[in-house]
Structure 1
Amino acid sequence: MIDLRALREAPDRLRASQRIRGEDESVVDRLLDLDSRRRAALTRFESLRADQKSVGKSVSQAAPEERDALLAQAKALSAEVKEAEAESERLAADLDALLAAVPNIVEEDVPAGGVDDFRVIEQVGAPREFDFTPRDHLELGELLGAIDTERGAKVAGARFYFLTGVGAQLELALLNMAMQRAVANGFVPVIPPVLVKPETMEGTGFLGAHAAEVYRLPDDDLYLVGTSEVPLAGFHAGEILDAAALPNRYAGWSSCFRREAGSYGKDTRGIIRVHQFNKVEMFVFTRPEDAHDEHLRLLAWEREMLDLLELPYRVVDIAGGDLGASAARKYDCEAWVPTQGRYRELTSTSNCTDFQARRLNIRYRGADGRPRFAATLNGTLATTRWIVAILENHQRADGSVVVPEALRAHLGRDVLEPVRR
């Protein structure tokens, strides 16, 4: 949720942000109008209530011949107070509803446009040139006895899969490596709930434009999370954090669930776009003035993981129209997928400034002792999709796959060999 005070002082910032996102600028004027009317209604209510209290005191002190008139006045004021209170509450509710629908204000220099208008910041490593025809990750996974999508579909439907044998071991090794590196960088490891209450899902901004992606259990009024960002954001909801301990860094390991609504026909082969996967997610609470630098640190840790796995990748600055509602800026790292001849997203890291913290009421005490809203950030450190890039980039002509050196100690082998059938 954006800061109303900042909006009053600099409404053109939100107007510019809405343009960059490709959203409606007129929402700024509607917000300012509602805010003005709400404050006027609240002032009127408080003034009438003060008059009501004053008349009430006068009744007990009035002469008998004055009492009836004062009682009538008190009765009329009571009705006006109720009406003014109702009007103030109605306008406040309207303002809150409109505020909840407005996305975060983007950082300066975020590219304008949509999904294809990202800015490439850097390309790291060159795509490998093969002296044989490379296999895609599913064919490799089947040769290795690592991926079984047919039985996944039989058991659960399309976009589900089994990781078996070295596939399961590879994912565990990858996520363990990510978690160990997170801990070494000062993160507290967390295994969070994957079912959350509506207020937690709403507070992180996932029930707006992307609500169709979320699985809901209506009988329990709970949601399955698409990322451990959601429960980690709610971890400190309603709390005042110790400013001296900031930043608070957490690394959540969880299963994640996404409906993939609207993706019919896209990435139907293999495990690139699936309904369930596992992920290690970094999440940070910090001061707003420190959020920009913390964002760059998260990106650096993501890049370090990709470098260790010896993957060619590029770093992109996501355009405003492709940002989620909570993000003020997002950087993706996209790894080269040889059989597709293009880069595919493996990591994202977002600076959500104080947007989520305002919705979840997460604060810290500033140097003056007054509570202020924290900033939140998130970033992917490893996920099931990384298996795609590892298998395809490190494959050999016989269908075996060389394990990146940094991953060998976690996996216990140097090469993944095709299984004998």
Structure 2
Amino acid sequence: MFRSMTESNVAPVIDLKLLRENPDTVRASQRARGEDPALVDALLDADAARRSAVSAADNLRAEQKAESKKVGKASPDERPALLAAAKALAEKVKAAEAEQSETDAAFTRAHMALSNVIIDGVPAGGEDDFVVLDTVGEPRAIDRPKDHVELGESLGLIDLERGAKVSGSRFYFLTGAGAFLQLGLLQLAARLAQENGFTLMIPPVLVRPEVMAGTGFLGAHAEEVYHLAADDLYLVGTSEVALAGYHSDEILDLSNGPLRYAGWSSCFRREAGSHGKDTRGIIRVHQFDKVEGFIYCKPEDAETEHQRLLGWERQMLANIDVPYRVIDIAAGDLGSSAARKFDCEAWIPTQNTYRELTSTSNCTTFQARRLAVRYRDENGKPQTAATLNGTLATTRWLVAILENHQQPDGSVRVPEALVPFVGTELLEPKA
């Protein structure tokens, strides 16, 4: 049974114990994100009002129960007065329950407005305030490099013109060896995931509103999500959404360690806020394919699992043999659900810069609280789980492969790990 995110019994989004005992920590997180710290005080006030309303309603219900017993034991002469008092008390209970419902709704709105609390050490600031943690490989010296569009079209790998004819801008066809390159990438990622204890999944790409909201994608960036109004379903921008909803309203067995899933799916993004950005090629498109790693674990294991996810992403980047760097994303660029995020950015010769290929986020208990995903601790008591996600391969990787492995004659060398899937070591221009 899925739980509506508008119901008053919604699971807390951030830890209320942390909020009540260390509100300054939450305020500092809000400031680091560039978000309003006053939202913390609004939530504290809403929390206090809700608890007061619950207490008042509970006391009146208890009084009503006691009075009803008196009516049953009363003499005929006493009964009319007691019934009149009971009627008046029932009206008070009704009003108290209405007040409780209103304060519940106000509390939920205030709680949903807060982003996840960042982890100590996350850089403050916005998109340009990341910290470089590592740089791997040296960019090759390429004389007058061709971009991935010119290479893809000359090699018969990408057809943007017909993609636009059929579906509009930011759509494309992958053709011939281009399709095999992508399939090889995804297959390689699926195998790596399986070898490291992930269960491969092909999940739905349409999800219910409560699942999309539960993962944090219907907040500030809701305009990026495709919504099918007639069915009230959302197209996912990542299989993280479906995989997060997979265990909603469940108590997991984590006694043998984390549960790891790898979702292979098509992904859809409106790119509503990217007007004029990356309009050429397949860097920023409306539809792409991806293998996404997703992990459920105990909160104390989350930071270790985050490093492991980053390690698996590094293995995949080593397989395609491109220079890249690892960056620690600043708080203001995390998105509402992530407490920390590492990106791996590959060198793109024609842009003379690094561009994101992978992203891995530690969402701590933020998503699991929204989706009511729990596990039992050593005492058998249910506790909120932690969730993490990370890209293992996606369509955009073709950009880095083509541009970094291009040869002077316009051909492109296929990375060794992908040769078995593509069927050739060299992609040559079509006549």
Bin the TM-score by the shorter chain: over 0.9
Amino acid at match of 2:119: E
Deviation at 1:72, TM superposition (A): 1.4
1:212 corresponds to 2:218: no
Deviation at 1:195, TM superposition (A): 0.5
Counterpart in the other structure of 1:318: 329
1:62 corresponds to 2:74: yes
Deviation at 1:218, TM superposition (A): 0.3
Amino acid at match of 1:344: R
Deviation at 1:229, TM superposition (A): 0.3
Counterpart in the other structure of 2:98: 86
SS in 2 for 1:244: coil
**Where does 1:324-403 land on structure 2 (aligned, <5 Å)?**
324-403=335-414
SS in 2 for 1:346: strand
Distance 1:377 1:404 in 2: 29
Unaligned runs of 5+ in 2: 1-12
Identity of aligned residues (%): 65
Q: Is the 8 A contact 2:151 2:402 kept in 1?
A: yes
- Could you list the runs of 4 or more consecutive aligned residues of structure 1 that deviate by over 4 angstroms after TM superposition? none
Deviation at 1:246, TM superposition (A): 3.1
Amino acid at match of 1:66: E
Match of 1:231 among 242, 245, 251: 242
1:104 corresponds to 2:116: yes
Aligned Cα root-mean-square deviation (Å): 0.8
Counterpart in the other structure of 2:53: 41
Q: Is the 8 A contact 1:246 1:285 kept in 2?
A: no
CA offsets per residue over residues 177-199 of structure 1, 9 Å max, x none?
11111111111000000000101
Distance 1:50 1:117 in 2: 56
Unaligned runs of 5+ in 1: none
Aligned length: 419
SS in 1 for 2:144: coil
1:128 corresponds to 2:128: no
Distance 1:36 1:218 in 2: 37
Distance 1:229 1:205 in 2: 11
1:31 corresponds to 2:31: no
CA offsets per residue over residues 91-114 of structure 1, 9 Å max, x none?
011101111121100000111111
1:406 corresponds to 2:403: no
Counterpart in the other structure of 2:188: 177
Q: Is the 8 A contact 2:40 2:114 kept in 1?
A: no
TM-score of the two chains, using structure 1 as the length reference = 0.98
Match of 1:72 among 74, 84, 98: 84
Q: Is the 8 A contact 1:118 1:316 kept in 2?
A: yes
TM-score of the two chains, using structure 2 as the length reference = 0.96
Distance 2:133 2:254 in 1: 33
**Where does 1:195-206 land on structure 2 (aligned, <5 Å)?**
195-206=206-217
CA offsets per residue over residues 301-356 of structure 1, 9 Å max, x none?
10111112111000000001001110000000000000000000000000000100
SS in 1 for 2:234: strand
Amino acid at match of 2:229: P
Distance 2:140 2:109 in 1: 51
